[in-house]
Structure 1
Amino acid sequence: MPNPVSSVLRLKVSDAKDQKVNISLMDASGRAMLQRSFIPKANTHQEEFNVSELTNGIYFLKVNAGEKQATLKVVKVQ
């Protein structure tokens, strides 16, 4: 995942084959700006998000897969 990001945010998910993965990109006030759910068919899966329309700033990418959770800080720039 490039960070900072300007147009395309790429997320690689590992070890989540056949598990539902929920992803939310939240702004600093907690509003969901992008949301996506998918079930990877392989052990490693890559998702891409177009963030070019988002304003510059700090966002938080929340990833839930089964019992695993992670929150990543993302900086959006032009």
Structure 2
Amino acid sequence: SMTFTFSGSDIGVGLDRFECSIDGSSFSACDTPQQFTSLSLGAHTLEVRAVDKVGNAADTPTVFLWTIVSPPPQPQ
């Protein structure tokens, strides 16, 4: 599993929530820390954006990239 912790602020009207997109999916509300389990082998992308109290989402989300690889074979 992978766990991500993030934070943010909004000087104007205040921060309302975070939204996440995993591997190109649509953005949806998410909490921090955000944990992902049972992901397939290969490359993954998490995008996180802050949304203020009047609904303005950050123009440029923060992007996390990582790769899940197979564990090495067990000695026989």
- Please tell me the TM-score bracket, short chain as reference: 0.5 to 0.7
* Bigger CA radius of gyration: 2
| Deviation >4 Å, runs of 4+ | none
> Gapped runs of 5+ residues in structure 2?
51-56, 72-76
CA RMSD of aligned residues (A): 2.9
Query: What CA distance in whole angstroms lies between the structure 1 residues aligned with 2:45 and 2:36?
Result: 15
TM-score w.r.t. the length of structure 2 is 0.53
Kindly indicate which of the two structures has a greater share of residues assigned to strand. Answer: 1
Give the count of matched residue pairs. Answer: 60
**Bigger relative CO (Cα 8 Å, ≥ 6 apart):** 1
For structure 1, the 5+ residue unaligned runs are 1-6, 41-45
* TM-score, normalised via structure 1 length: 0.52
Q: Which residue of 2 is the match for residue 74 of structure 1?
A: 66
Summarize the Cα distance change of 1:59–1:70 in structure 2 as closer, same or farther, 3 Å threshold.
same
Measure the CA separation in 2 of the matches of 1:25 and 1:15.
22
Q: Deviations over 1:31-52 (max 9, x none)?
A: x3xx6414x7xxxxx313132x
- Please list the CA deviations of residues 48-74 of structure 1 after superposition, one character each: whole Å capped at 9, or x if unmatched: 3132x1111111111111325222212
